[in-house]
Amino acid sequence: MRASPFSFAGPKRHNDPGIAFEKLPKIDVVLVSHGHYDHLDVATLSKLTSAFGPRVVTPLGNDITMRASDTAIKAEAFDWYQRVELGNGVAATLVPTRHWSARGLFDRNKALWASFVLETPAGKLYIVCDSGYGDGRHFRRVADAHGPLRLAILPIGAYEPRWFMQDQHMNPEDAVK
């Protein structure tokens, strides 16, 4: 119920998941962008592993966190710019994004963070995980290297106070840019 290592502190969930776990279709692959508690929920990954046994594709270092909690999680770690064949004509390339990583007080930026470009038979999708906008150059580099992109999925949220969050999360105006 909280994005935190503690059940009594940290950001609290406001809504139930959009789909009940029992109603999920078979999950073959899970993309994990970085190690923050709201993105790398080991309990959920363990439950998915027990139910479906999916591959888990993640940036370097996050696999260590997963395996330390559950050795059954099939975590595969990749560096930025690496392309991963996922099957059925789909591949994912991990691309840098404007963010950071940490799960504790002493592990800041000890693991990578990433967004993903998915190549599918229907075209390329740019799944931007947590990211600030900055000067926008990292977005232009992805478009130049992987375009044309059929769809970009952009995160908007947790962007206030702006002075603090501008390099980590986009607001609506950033997403429009």
77 has pLDDT over 90: yes
Beta strand 55-59 pairing with 29-31 = parallel
For residues 21 and 3, the model is more confident at 21
Q: pLDDT tier at 24 (50, 70, 90 boundaries)?
A: very high
- Annotate the chain with three-state secondary structure: CECCCCCCCCCECCCCCCCCHHHCCCCCEEECCCCCCCCCCHHHHHHHHHHHCCEEEEECCHHHHHHHHCCCCEEEEECCCCEEEEECCEEEEEECCCCCCCCCCCCCCCCCCCEEEEEECCEEEEECCCCCCCCCHHHHHHHHHHCCCCEEECCCCCCCCHHHHCCCCCCHHHHHC
Q: Which tokens in the block code for residue 39? A: 């993105």
pTM of the prediction?
0.91
18 has pLDDT over 80: yes
What's the confidence (pLDDT) of residue 73?
Answer: 94
CA distance 61 to 64: 6
Which domains are present in the chain? Answer: 21-176 (3.60.15.10)
